[in-house]
Chains A and B, each alone.
Chain A
Amino acid sequence: MTALSTLLLLSGSAFVLIGGIGLLRMPNLYTRLHAASLTDTLGTLLILAGIIIQAGFTLAAIKLAAIALFLMLTGPTATYALANAALLSGTIPNARRLDLPPK
Protein backbone atom coordinates (compact mmCIF):
# COMPACT_ATOMS: atom_id res chain seq x y z
CA MET A 1 0.00 0.00 0.00
CA THR A 2 2.76 2.44 0.89
CA ALA A 3 4.73 1.45 -2.22
CA LEU A 4 1.70 2.18 -4.42
CA SER A 5 1.21 5.55 -2.72
CA THR A 6 4.90 6.42 -3.19
CA LEU A 7 4.73 5.44 -6.85
CA LEU A 8 1.64 7.60 -7.41
CA LEU A 9 3.16 10.58 -5.59
CA LEU A 10 6.48 10.39 -7.45
CA SER A 11 4.88 9.96 -10.89
CA GLY A 12 2.50 12.84 -10.14
CA SER A 13 5.45 15.00 -9.13
CA ALA A 14 7.22 14.08 -12.37
CA PHE A 15 4.15 15.08 -14.41
CA VAL A 16 3.82 18.37 -12.53
CA LEU A 17 7.50 19.14 -13.13
CA ILE A 18 7.23 18.28 -16.84
CA GLY A 19 4.23 20.61 -17.07
CA GLY A 20 6.20 23.45 -15.51
CA ILE A 21 9.15 22.96 -17.85
CA GLY A 22 6.79 22.82 -20.84
CA LEU A 23 5.04 26.00 -19.70
CA LEU A 24 8.39 27.77 -19.59
CA ARG A 25 10.04 26.41 -22.73
CA MET A 26 7.30 25.95 -25.36
CA PRO A 27 7.45 28.50 -28.20
CA ASN A 28 3.78 29.40 -28.67
CA LEU A 29 0.72 30.30 -26.59
CA TYR A 30 -1.28 27.27 -27.68
CA THR A 31 1.59 24.82 -27.20
CA ARG A 32 2.12 26.27 -23.73
CA LEU A 33 -1.61 25.80 -23.08
CA HIS A 34 -1.35 22.18 -24.21
CA ALA A 35 1.70 21.46 -22.08
CA ALA A 36 0.22 23.10 -19.01
CA SER A 37 -3.34 21.79 -19.11
CA LEU A 38 -2.85 18.05 -19.71
CA THR A 39 -0.01 17.54 -17.24
CA ASP A 40 -1.88 19.71 -14.75
CA THR A 41 -4.93 17.42 -14.73
CA LEU A 42 -2.98 14.15 -14.69
CA GLY A 43 -0.37 15.24 -12.12
CA THR A 44 -3.04 16.63 -9.80
CA LEU A 45 -5.05 13.41 -10.00
CA LEU A 46 -1.99 11.22 -9.35
CA ILE A 47 -0.75 13.24 -6.36
CA LEU A 48 -4.22 13.43 -4.79
CA ALA A 49 -4.73 9.68 -5.33
CA GLY A 50 -1.43 9.00 -3.57
CA ILE A 51 -2.45 11.14 -0.59
CA ILE A 52 -5.92 9.51 -0.49
CA ILE A 53 -4.27 6.06 -0.23
CA GLN A 54 -2.15 7.34 2.65
CA ALA A 55 -5.17 8.87 4.41
CA GLY A 56 -7.36 5.76 4.40
CA PHE A 57 -11.09 5.91 5.14
CA THR A 58 -11.26 9.24 6.97
CA LEU A 59 -12.88 12.63 6.51
CA ALA A 60 -9.64 13.89 4.98
CA ALA A 61 -9.97 11.35 2.16
CA ILE A 62 -13.46 12.65 1.37
CA LYS A 63 -12.18 16.23 1.30
CA LEU A 64 -9.30 15.17 -0.97
CA ALA A 65 -11.76 13.41 -3.30
CA ALA A 66 -13.85 16.59 -3.40
CA ILE A 67 -10.75 18.64 -4.27
CA ALA A 68 -9.81 16.13 -7.01
CA LEU A 69 -13.34 16.17 -8.48
CA PHE A 70 -13.48 19.96 -8.44
CA LEU A 71 -10.05 20.35 -10.04
CA MET A 72 -10.98 17.79 -12.68
CA LEU A 73 -14.07 19.87 -13.54
CA THR A 74 -12.50 23.33 -13.42
CA GLY A 75 -9.07 22.75 -14.97
CA PRO A 76 -10.26 21.92 -18.51
CA THR A 77 -12.98 24.59 -18.24
CA ALA A 78 -10.42 27.28 -17.41
CA THR A 79 -8.18 26.05 -20.24
CA TYR A 80 -11.08 26.16 -22.69
CA ALA A 81 -12.07 29.66 -21.58
CA LEU A 82 -8.47 30.83 -21.93
CA ALA A 83 -8.07 29.38 -25.44
CA ASN A 84 -11.46 30.82 -26.44
CA ALA A 85 -10.56 34.28 -25.19
CA ALA A 86 -7.16 34.17 -26.91
CA LEU A 87 -8.70 33.02 -30.20
CA LEU A 88 -11.45 35.66 -30.07
CA SER A 89 -8.93 38.40 -29.41
CA GLY A 90 -7.02 37.48 -32.57
CA THR A 91 -4.15 35.21 -31.55
CA ILE A 92 -3.80 32.93 -34.58
CA PRO A 93 -2.55 29.38 -33.93
CA ASN A 94 0.13 28.61 -36.51
CA ALA A 95 1.00 25.02 -37.34
CA ARG A 96 4.37 25.88 -38.84
CA ARG A 97 7.28 23.86 -37.51
CA LEU A 98 9.59 26.17 -35.66
CA ASP A 99 12.81 24.23 -36.27
CA LEU A 100 12.50 24.67 -40.05
CA PRO A 101 13.83 27.88 -41.62
CA PRO A 102 11.06 30.36 -42.52
CA LYS A 103 10.15 30.70 -46.17
Chain B
Amino acid sequence: MYTAASIAIFITMGLALIRALLGPSVYDRVLAVNMFGTKTVLLLSVVAFLYGRPDFLDLALAYALINFIGVLAVLQFFENRQELATDADEDSGNRQKSNATGTEPAAEKSPR
Protein backbone atom coordinates (compact mmCIF):
# COMPACT_ATOMS: atom_id res chain seq x y z
CA MET B 1 0.00 0.00 0.00
CA TYR B 2 2.79 2.42 0.93
CA THR B 3 4.76 0.88 -1.92
CA ALA B 4 1.94 1.57 -4.40
CA ALA B 5 1.64 5.17 -3.21
CA SER B 6 5.40 5.73 -3.48
CA ILE B 7 5.49 4.19 -6.97
CA ALA B 8 2.65 6.51 -8.08
CA ILE B 9 4.49 9.50 -6.63
CA PHE B 10 7.71 8.42 -8.40
CA ILE B 11 5.90 8.17 -11.75
CA THR B 12 4.39 11.63 -11.20
CA MET B 13 7.81 13.07 -10.40
CA GLY B 14 9.12 11.60 -13.64
CA LEU B 15 6.25 13.16 -15.62
CA ALA B 16 6.90 16.52 -13.94
CA LEU B 17 10.59 16.25 -14.87
CA ILE B 18 9.65 15.55 -18.51
CA ARG B 19 7.43 18.65 -18.49
CA ALA B 20 10.22 20.69 -16.92
CA LEU B 21 12.58 19.61 -19.70
CA LEU B 22 10.00 20.07 -22.50
CA GLY B 23 8.24 23.19 -21.26
CA PRO B 24 8.00 25.91 -23.89
CA SER B 25 7.93 28.85 -21.47
CA VAL B 26 9.67 29.59 -18.19
CA TYR B 27 6.39 29.33 -16.27
CA ASP B 28 5.82 25.73 -17.39
CA ARG B 29 9.19 24.85 -15.94
CA VAL B 30 8.46 26.69 -12.69
CA LEU B 31 5.10 24.88 -12.44
CA ALA B 32 6.77 21.51 -13.00
CA VAL B 33 9.47 22.26 -10.43
CA ASN B 34 6.81 23.33 -7.90
CA MET B 35 4.94 20.07 -8.47
CA PHE B 36 8.20 18.12 -8.16
CA GLY B 37 8.88 19.75 -4.79
CA THR B 38 5.39 19.03 -3.48
CA LYS B 39 5.71 15.41 -4.58
CA THR B 40 9.08 15.25 -2.83
CA VAL B 41 7.39 16.27 0.43
CA LEU B 42 4.74 13.59 -0.10
CA LEU B 43 7.34 10.95 -0.95
CA LEU B 44 9.35 11.78 2.17
CA SER B 45 6.32 11.38 4.40
CA VAL B 46 5.32 8.08 2.71
CA VAL B 47 8.87 6.70 2.92
CA ALA B 48 9.04 7.64 6.62
CA PHE B 49 6.21 5.19 7.27
CA LEU B 50 7.34 2.66 4.66
CA TYR B 51 10.69 2.18 6.41
CA GLY B 52 9.45 2.97 9.92
CA ARG B 53 11.64 6.04 10.41
CA PRO B 54 9.48 8.99 11.56
CA ASP B 55 12.51 11.32 11.58
CA PHE B 56 11.93 11.91 7.89
CA LEU B 57 8.82 13.94 8.72
CA ASP B 58 11.01 16.81 9.95
CA LEU B 59 12.83 16.74 6.62
CA ALA B 60 9.48 16.83 4.80
CA LEU B 61 8.33 19.87 6.81
CA ALA B 62 11.60 21.74 6.18
CA TYR B 63 11.49 20.86 2.48
CA ALA B 64 7.92 22.17 2.18
CA LEU B 65 9.01 25.53 3.61
CA ILE B 66 12.10 25.77 1.38
CA ASN B 67 10.16 24.76 -1.73
CA PHE B 68 7.49 27.44 -1.27
CA ILE B 69 9.99 30.22 -0.62
CA GLY B 70 12.13 29.08 -3.56
CA VAL B 71 9.24 29.10 -6.03
CA LEU B 72 8.16 32.58 -4.91
CA ALA B 73 11.74 33.86 -5.23
CA VAL B 74 12.15 32.44 -8.74
CA LEU B 75 8.81 33.94 -9.81
CA GLN B 76 9.80 37.36 -8.45
CA PHE B 77 13.12 37.13 -10.29
CA PHE B 78 11.53 36.32 -13.65
CA GLU B 79 8.79 38.94 -13.21
CA ASN B 80 11.35 41.70 -12.67
CA ARG B 81 13.46 40.38 -15.53
CA GLN B 82 10.47 40.46 -17.89
CA GLU B 83 9.64 44.04 -16.90
CA LEU B 84 13.23 45.09 -17.54
CA ALA B 85 13.19 43.39 -20.92
CA THR B 86 9.94 45.04 -22.07
CA ASP B 87 10.66 48.51 -20.69
CA ALA B 88 14.06 48.88 -22.32
CA ASP B 89 12.81 51.61 -24.70
CA GLU B 90 11.28 53.65 -21.84
CA ASP B 91 14.48 53.43 -19.83
CA SER B 92 15.24 57.17 -19.75
CA GLY B 93 11.77 58.11 -18.48
CA ASN B 94 11.90 55.51 -15.73
CA ARG B 95 15.35 56.61 -14.74
CA GLN B 96 14.24 60.24 -14.41
CA LYS B 97 11.23 59.15 -12.39
CA SER B 98 13.36 57.04 -10.07
CA ASN B 99 15.78 59.92 -9.65
CA ALA B 100 12.92 62.23 -8.68
CA THR B 101 11.59 59.76 -6.12
CA GLY B 102 15.09 59.02 -4.90
CA THR B 103 15.97 62.62 -4.18
CA GLU B 104 12.75 63.48 -2.35
CA PRO B 105 13.46 61.56 0.89
CA ALA B 106 16.96 63.01 1.06
CA ALA B 107 15.52 66.51 0.70
CA GLU B 108 13.04 65.73 3.44
CA LYS B 109 15.67 64.28 5.73
CA SER B 110 18.22 67.07 5.44
CA PRO B 111 16.25 69.77 7.36
CA ARG B 112 15.76 67.37 10.28
- Chain B 38-50: CB-based contact to A (< 8 A → 1; otherwise 0): 1101100110110
Chain B residues positioned under 8 Å from A40 (CB to CB):
35, 38
Instruction: Contact check, B41 vs A67: say whether CB atoms are below 8 A apart.
Output: yes
Main secondary structure of the interface of B (DSSP, over half): helix
**A42 interface residue per 8 A CB criterion:** no
Instruction: Contact check, A17 vs B72: say whether CB atoms are below 8 A apart.
Output: no
Chain B residues positioned under 8 Å from A78 (CB to CB):
34, 68, 71-72
Q: How large is the interface on B (under 10, 10 to 19, 20 to 34, 35 or more residues)?
A: 35 or more
Query: By the criterion of a CB under 8 Å from any partner CB, how many residues of chain A are at the interface?
Result: 49
CA distance A71 to B8 in the complex (A): 19
Instruction: Contact check, B75 vs A36: say whether CB atoms are below 8 A apart.
Output: no
CA distance A32 to B32 in the complex (A): 9
Q: Apart from A9-B1, A43-B42, what are 9 other A-B pairs with CB-CB below 8 Å?
A: A10-B1, A14-B8, A17-B8, A47-B42, A71-B38, A75-B38, A81-B72, A82-B34, A89-B27
